[in-house]
Structure 1
Amino acid sequence: MAVSSTFCRLNLLPKHSLLRGLTSHGQQLRPKWPHNQISKLEDNLIVLGIETSCDDTAAAVVRSNGDILSQVVSSQADLLAQYGGVAPKMAEEAHSQAIDQVVLEALDKANLTEKDLSAIAVTIGPGLSLCLRVGVQKARKIARNFNLPIVGIHHMEAHALVARLIEQDLQFPFMALLISGGHNLLILAHDLGHYVQLGTTIDDAIGEAYDKTAKWLGLDLRRSGGPAIEELAREGDAKSVNFSIPMKQHKDCNFSYAGLKTQVRLAIESRKIDAKIPISSASCEDRVSRADIAASFQRVAVLHLEERCERAIQWALKIEPSITYLVVSGGVASNQYVRARLDLVVKRNGLQLVCPPPSLCTDNGVMVAWTGIEHFRMGRFDPPPPVDEPEDSVYDLRPRWPLGEEHTEGRSEARSLRTARIHPSLTSLIQASLQQQS
């Protein structure tokens, strides 16, 4: 009933809804453009991707043959350090200040103008609604002024699909582990727009645990928690602190890092570590203590990933025995320790690991542009916004937007996430659209 009522609300979305061709009409949209733009709808696509879902303002221009023509990212590292994490209102203001320059620089580096583009792709969810709005507003303004089609992008799908840009042999079906500050997600990708959720976060994601641990240890957050913890952990004894692995008693593929965060906080308090004293000013003994906690935390945090991946691989192979790849992407996938440990799991199960380069693991415009290209080829896009669209329009933003439907064995009664105000999954929307077409 909840899903049905949500679909009703989606069908009543205003004309400003991105992916409107999927959610409302259930048909492919092939608007009529001037003759000189017809060729842009075929193989030689050039797409501008815009990403503002959280704390980085990013844009990139990508060609459909896989050429990355430009990539620009404006980091909010100083804000993260100042507030000890993402402050939504501050992040929105930073996006607003940076978006015009980031997009302009992306076009300049590609040696192109808006008139050379085939389409605009922009993240519409999941993420922080205040931040998503900045990117969507910019994307629609360009699309409106230059009569360009627009593709609404699912942030997590983009993390998964960017691997297909750098690994040409990566065909569907494949598995993906998407790990970042806000998400832990294990999926089986049957096809473009068709995903099964094998496991997800029931409270805090691994990136959040890294960031909080780094903050409590007095590390420099301008680099974000992951790199800071990884570097300090190299100095420590990973078995010096006996943290317990989360959810050992749960035989599913879901993740939980809230309990591990509590263990870390208590360990820091017991050692009387003062986060106000930066690591650079810590005594030798204090530094060793912090390094031991960092190493012990990282070992257990990643062991949780390994255990869940191992089980998810077995589930996925039962569903799709032809799977040969596991994609690991998202900001935490930049961590070399994480990659090395997961590579062992993958090889033990006869699969191959695919990790995009670090610059494509963290939030970026390339992944958005490429995902836009993949969907555009399938006819999944909206026509240019109307020329009289008001600047203060209410856009279709999807802060809480599942990627796929839950695997039967993966449902968890321990899930603490509320289901209210969650959009229907991308998979359910696309599958419903395909059924209406047939």
Structure 2
Amino acid sequence: MYVLGIETSCDETAVAIFHSNKGLVHHLLYSQIDMHSEYGGVVPELASRDHIRKLIPLVKQLLQESGLVNADLGGIAYTAGPGLMGALLVGAATARSMAWALQIPAVAVHHMEGHLLAPMLEDKPPQFPFLALLISGGHTLLVHVNGIGQYKLLGESLDDAVGEAFDKTAKMLGLGYPGGPKLSALAELGTEKIRFPRPMTDRPGLDFSFSGLKTFAMNTINASPKTEQDKADIAASFQAAIADTLSIKCRRALRQTGLNRLVVAGGVSANTQIRAALTLMAAGENADIFFPRAQFCTDNGAMIAYAGCQRLIAGQIIEGQAITARPRWPMMELSAID
């Protein structure tokens, strides 16, 4: 069965086709970064309008380059949340309309479940059960995963997510949008000369808090005029604190659960220093670690097509005619696939 995946949760229009036996067939992505960079961040209304302009042409291009036609599709999966309401509705309305017209099933996919399952697209996917660290612009989650839809939340951020902390600190350093990748690039030019706190690592538990790191960075930046090298050192020190904090929490979670597999996914999982720190930690715990390839760390259609395909095979289709989107949607509410 060929499944079309549609992702429009924020500022990237992404589509993909996944086959239940052949695997990933093709994927395409259109990024809105250039448009939003003028405003220093994502403008929801502009994002929605751009999805409207780009989505249908991108689907047509995807089918053409895959050597397929509409009639070859056996189902359509789309991101129904969480995300920007207007952006989500563009994908939802398009997916449901196509499914009705083609008389094929549609399935709503949780954006973070898509990220969680992205490593399944690799040649050596992880086996269940595993520990998952999901780190993105809006989420920081530690999850015990027994299977698709079988999730137990172990820890989450009590304030800013990792990606938010990166973006806000980058803005304070005058780096512009998108902040996270620019801060990481600047950190490569610096050294860890400032000892940032490792928040909530000196107490039991698996929750996170990153707002204090942002405040520490702001106070450090405002203390005196900074040269470009000083800024690079601040970026390197901030990033090191993030990497250490995530490593400490993941080590604690591996030991508490007895799991020996760690999946790290979401946009921030593309960060090279975080990958290196977590890989080193996992080796010390005799645990296997899995990352999606860089192009599947950020928002993409392939992860939605894969997740949707698994749920379609399990018979989890949308009934009725309502078109719904959920800007807030706890992942623990998802139904399990036996």
TM-score (norm. length: structure 2): 0.95
Q: Counterpart in 1 of 2:127?
A: 171
Q: Which has the larger radius of gyration?
A: 1
Letter in 1 for 2:71: K
Residue of structure 2 aligned with 1:77, choices 30, 33, 40: 33
Check if 1:234 corresponds to 2:188.
yes
Check if 1:151 corresponds to 2:84.
no
Give 1:248 shift: 3.2
Q: Counterpart in 1 of 2:237?
A: 296
SS at match of 2:76: strand
Q: Counterpart in 1 of 2:216?
A: 263
Letter in 1 for 2:132: A
Give 1:61 shift: 0.8
Q: Counterpart in 1 of 2:270?
A: 334
Give 1:361 shift: 0.8
Check if 1:134 corresponds to 2:90.
yes
Render the CA deviation track for 1:121-163: whole Å, top value 9, x for unaligned: 0011111212111110110111111111001101111111121
Q: Counterpart in 2 of 1:30?
A: none
SS at match of 2:134: strand
Residue of structure 2 aligned with 1:359, choices 295, 304, 307: 295
Query: CA–CA distance in 2 between the matches of 1:65 and 1:334?
Result: 28
SS at match of 2:151: strand
Q: For structure 2, which runs of at least 5 residues remain unmatched after alignment?
A: none
Q: Mark the CA change 1:248 to 1:118 in structure 2 (over 3 Å): closer, same or farther.
A: same
Letter in 1 for 2:328: R
Check if 1:253 corresponds to 2:212.
no
Q: For structure 1, which runs of at least 5 residues remain unmatched after alignment?
A: 1-44, 274-285, 318-322, 387-393, 405-424
Q: Mark the CA change 1:60 to 1:204 in structure 2 (over 3 Å): closer, same or farther.
A: same
Give 1:67 shift: 3.0
Check if 1:375 corresponds to 2:311.
yes
Query: CA–CA distance in 2 between the matches of 1:375 and 1:127?
Result: 20
Letter in 1 for 2:309: I
C-alpha contact (below 8 Å) 1:325/1:353 kept by paired residues: yes
C-alpha contact (below 8 Å) 1:241/1:293 kept by paired residues: yes
Query: CA–CA distance in 2 between the matches of 1:246 and 1:169?
Result: 32
Aligned residue pairs total 338
Q: Mark the CA change 1:169 to 1:359 in structure 2 (over 3 Å): closer, same or farther.
A: closer
Query: CA–CA distance in 1 between the matches of 2:295 and 2:273?
Result: 17
1:78-97 superposed matches below 5 A: 78-97=34-53
SS at match of 2:127: coil
Query: CA–CA distance in 1 between the matches of 2:213 and 2:68?
Result: 48
RMSD: 1.8
TM-score (norm. length: structure 1): 0.74
SS at match of 2:280: helix
C-alpha contact (below 8 Å) 2:78/2:107 kept by paired residues: yes
Residue of structure 2 aligned with 1:396, choices 290, 305, 324: 324
Letter in 2 for 1:244: P
Query: CA–CA distance in 2 between the matches of 1:129 and 1:271?
Result: 41
Report sequence identity in percent.
Answer: 41
Letter in 2 for 1:300: A
